């Protein structure tokens, strides 16, 4: 299905990848959001679970392998053209994950990647929903605490 002017919403994943007090961000190399900072992610493929899509998208865009920890929220992203028709419509399942090692590199449709400090997100001018989801994921991640597998 084509992504602009779709006949139905497209299911996508956004992945809040945390490492300490930093979050992994990508600068979009393709529309929608060309040139903007966002979470790694993209469209779910047929036959793929949401968590599989999350791991695949992060790997494709940044080269990092992640451990998925859970779901944060579901967000609708609807961008309309000048006539008011939905040009893009994504139902985004936001996942949170952590990456324990390795450094990201821009791949696939990511023009740039960076770890951003949670207290330094404002200058990046993220979509308000993205920033909200990042903060919610960090709260959830903090509540999990040290996992038994790491003791």
Task: Kindly state the tokens that stand for 17.
Answer: 């990848």
Query: Out of 52, 60, 98, 112, which one is annotated catalytic?
Result: 112
**Spatial distance between the Cα atoms of 106 and 111, rounded to a whole number of angstroms:** 6
Task: With H, G, I as helix, E, B as strand and everything else as coil, classify residue 81.
Answer: coil
CA atoms of 136 and 19, how far apart (whole Å): 15
Structure tokens at 1: 């299905």
112: annotated active-site residue: yes
CA-CA-CA-CA torsion for 107, 112, 117, 122, nearest 10 degrees?
-130
Q: Which residues contact 119 (CB under 8 A, 6 or more apart)?
A: 21
Catalytic residues: 112
């Amino acid at each position: 299905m084509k992504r602009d002017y779709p006949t139905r919403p497209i299911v996508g994943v956004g992945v809040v990848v945390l490492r300490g007090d930093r979050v992994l961000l990508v600068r979009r190399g393709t529309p929608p959001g060309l040139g903007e900072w966002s979470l790694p992610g993209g469209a779910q493929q047929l036959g793929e679970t949401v968590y599989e899509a999350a791991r695949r998208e992060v790997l494709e865009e940044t080269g990092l392998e992640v451990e998925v920890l859970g779901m944060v929220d579901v967000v609708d992203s609807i961008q309309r053209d000048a006539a008011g028709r939905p040009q893009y419509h994504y139902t985004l399942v936001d996942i949170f994950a952590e990456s324990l090692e390795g450094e990201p590199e821009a791949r696939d449709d990511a023009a740039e990647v960076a770890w951003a400090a949670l207290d330094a997100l404002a200058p990046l001018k993220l979509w308000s929903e993205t920033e909200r989801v990042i903060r919610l994921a960090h709260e959830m991640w903090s509540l999990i605490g040290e996992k038994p597998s790491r003791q």
